[in-house]
């Protein structure tokens, strides 16, 4: 997105007080969509005649599409205007939701999720950009904190709503619920969304292709681990890494790259970004694994599985309110190291959950995981954003959002691949429990290794941010 100075903020008398609520609708749809699907996967798999353990493509395809297309959002809004881009992107997301509900096969569902993701990749960044240009910097912080509240509610409402809809109706309603919200958003946007444009710079098409294809290659390689031949997995991963290396070579030699390499020379930024991505490799698939284990392994209903995810989200939100005080007293280095180590322990401890476990065991473990993981991700994002100079703020912010969506995709792919390594063909029902337990242990070790990244930080890093408001973990 284009960098804007204080003087370029352009609130006018025509800026409607309803604008933040229009943006909030987009935030709500995307925040809800990232969590509502997980509890519905077993029901969808049954209807589409697939194994529930083979449904991760529906999550990966959406998250990967969003991650790949977010870099286009700023250029499109500058070129065609925020109002037009917002309306079309919400319409595309809504149409994709309808196609998902009408899908009669897994390939059709995955293609529909890609359409949905293409809309989601644009509507949220453009909504945020419209707010940035409509309000002064001091007002923007207050407005954004209100607008992102639906994003924080998504992890709470998503599993509950998804489980309830599957139980009382069908999985199709997980997607149909987006239709009235999307139509309302488009109608309101037509009347209240400002149509900001800006001079457009040349889009780095070469860098975009190298970056996108590299990420796809690595993601497909991780997703295929354990289900494809080792040489094919290696070929996909190596190809992806080579393409990403090609992007680095290209970015170092072009005047206007998709993402400047300068951001990676900032120690706090690169540490926060890389640490969060690696942490999510170990934890990003938990939101998928837990509902699957509860439903496929333990035979619980979708509604019960959704309710069991509630402690994870509530603990994360509760810790988010206390995080500024924790960082002010302990600093970023201590906070990130301790929270990531505790997250690793909590992830591995999920292996203690069995079909006969008491709620007195399950709920504290889930709450511990949610609290520690939330602290790690939010504090990492806050540290990274606070280290960005004004000239790199736009690219750095976009890259953080891309990394968040990408890590969801990679985390799910990684968790599914590890589960496939331990799962035997004869394992069904409660017999799958050992495979899930082994997966949690491996993911816990992976998360523990990611904590080593934060050893790069020094004691006083991020001291100027100690009393700032944390950046939400997911936008």
Higher pLDDT, 230 or 423: 423
Residue carrying structure tokens 């017999």: 431
Sequential DSSP letters for 234-300: HHHHHHHHHHHHHHHHHHTT-SS-SS-GGGGGSHHHHHHHHHHHHHHHHHTTHHHHHHHIIIIIT--
**The predicted structure's pLDDT at residue 351:** 92
- pLDDT band with cut points at 50, 70 and 90 for residue 237: confident
**The predicted structure's pLDDT at residue 138:** 61
First to last CA, the chain: 15
What is the mean pLDDT of the segment spanning 442-454? 91
Given a cut of 70, whether residue 6 has pLDDT beyond it is no
Asked if 416 and 223 touch (Cβ cutoff 8 Å), the reply is yes
What is the mean pLDDT of the segment spanning 260-273? 85
What is the mean pLDDT of the segment spanning 111-117? 94
Q: Cα 287–291–294 angle (5° rounding)?
A: 140
Residue 388 CB partners (closer than 8 Å, separation 6+) = 263, 266, 269, 396, 397
**Mean pLDDT score of the chain:** 82
Class of domain 15-196: mainly alpha
**The predicted structure's pLDDT at residue 466:** 54
> How much of the chain, in percent, has pLDDT values that exceed 70?
86
Quick check: do 15-196 and 263-470 share a fold? yes
**The predicted structure's pLDDT at residue 2:** 41
pLDDT in tens, 161-212: 888 898 888 999 999 999 999 999 899 998 888 888 776 677 888 999 998 8
**The predicted structure's pLDDT at residue 101:** 94
What is the mean pLDDT of the segment spanning 20-30? 84
Q: Which range, of 2-6, 234-238, 426-430, averages the lowest pLDDT? A: 2-6
- How is the chain split into domains, by residue range? 15-196, 205-257, 263-470
What is the mean pLDDT of the segment spanning 338-343? 94
Q: Which CATH superfamily is domain 263-470 in?
A: MFS general substrate transporter like domains (1.20.1250.20)
Name which of 372, 398, 371 is nearest 384 in CA terms: 398
pLDDT in tens, 362-389: 999 999 999 998 888 888 877 876 666 7
């Amino acid at each position: 997105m284009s960098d804007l100075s204080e003087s370029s903020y352009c609130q006018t008398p025509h800026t409607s007080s309803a604008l933040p609520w229009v943006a909030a609708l987009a935030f709500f749809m995307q925040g809800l969509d990232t969590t509502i699907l997980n509890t519905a996967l077993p029901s969808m798999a049954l209807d589409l005649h697939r194994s529930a353990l083979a449904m991760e493509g529906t999550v990966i395809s959406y998250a990967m599409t969003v991650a790949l297309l977010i870099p286009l959002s700023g250029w499109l809004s500058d070129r065609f205007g925020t109002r037009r881009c917002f309306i079309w992107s919400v319409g595309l997301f809504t149409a994709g939701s309808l196609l998902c509900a009408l899908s009669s096969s897994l390939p059709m569902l995955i293609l529909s999720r890609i359409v949905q993701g293409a809309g989601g990749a644009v509507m949220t960044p453009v909504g945020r950009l419209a707010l940035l240009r409509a309000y002064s910097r001091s007002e923007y912080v207050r407005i954004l904190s209100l607008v992102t509240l639906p994003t924080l509610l998504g992890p709470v409402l998503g599993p509950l709503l998804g489980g309830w809809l599957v139980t009382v109706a069908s999985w199709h309603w997980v997607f149909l619920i987006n239709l009235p919200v999307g139509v309302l958003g488009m109608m309101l946007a037509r009347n209240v969304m400002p149509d900001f444009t800006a001079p457009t710079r040349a889009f780095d098409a070469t860098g975009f292709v190298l970056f996108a294809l590299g990420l796809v290659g690595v993601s497909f390689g991780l997703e295929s681990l354990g289900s494809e031949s080792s040489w094919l997995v290696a070929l996909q991963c190596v190809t992806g890494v080579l393409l990403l290396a090609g992007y680095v070579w290209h970015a170092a030699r072009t005047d206007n790259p998709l993402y400047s390499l300068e951001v990676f020379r900032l120690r706090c930024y690169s540490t926060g970004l890389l640490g969060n991505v690696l942490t999510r490799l170990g934890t990003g698939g938990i939101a998928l694994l837990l509902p699957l284990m509860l439903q496929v392994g333990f035979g619980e209903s979708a509604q019960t599985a959704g309710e069991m995810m509630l402690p994870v989200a509530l603990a994360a939100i509760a810790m988010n309110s206390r995080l500024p005080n924790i960082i002010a007293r302990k600093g970023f280095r201590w906070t990130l190291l301790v929270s990531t180590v505790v997250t690793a322990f909590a992830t591995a401890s999920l292996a203690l959950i069995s079909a006969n476990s008491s709620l007195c065991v399950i709920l504290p473990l889930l709450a511990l995981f949610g609290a520690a993981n939330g602290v790690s991700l939010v504090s990492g994002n806050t540290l990274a954003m606070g280290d960005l100079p004004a000239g790199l703020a736009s690219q750095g912010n976009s890259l953080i959002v891309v990394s968040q969506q990408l890590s969801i995709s990679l985390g799910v792919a990684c968790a599914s691949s590890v589960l496939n390594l331990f799962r035997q063909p004869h394992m069904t029902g409660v017999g799958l429990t050992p495979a899930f337990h082994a997966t949690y242990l491996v993911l816990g070790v992976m998360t523990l290794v990611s904590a080593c990244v934060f050893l790069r930080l020094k004691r006083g890093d991020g001291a100027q941010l100690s009393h700032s408001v944390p950046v939400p973990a997911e936008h």
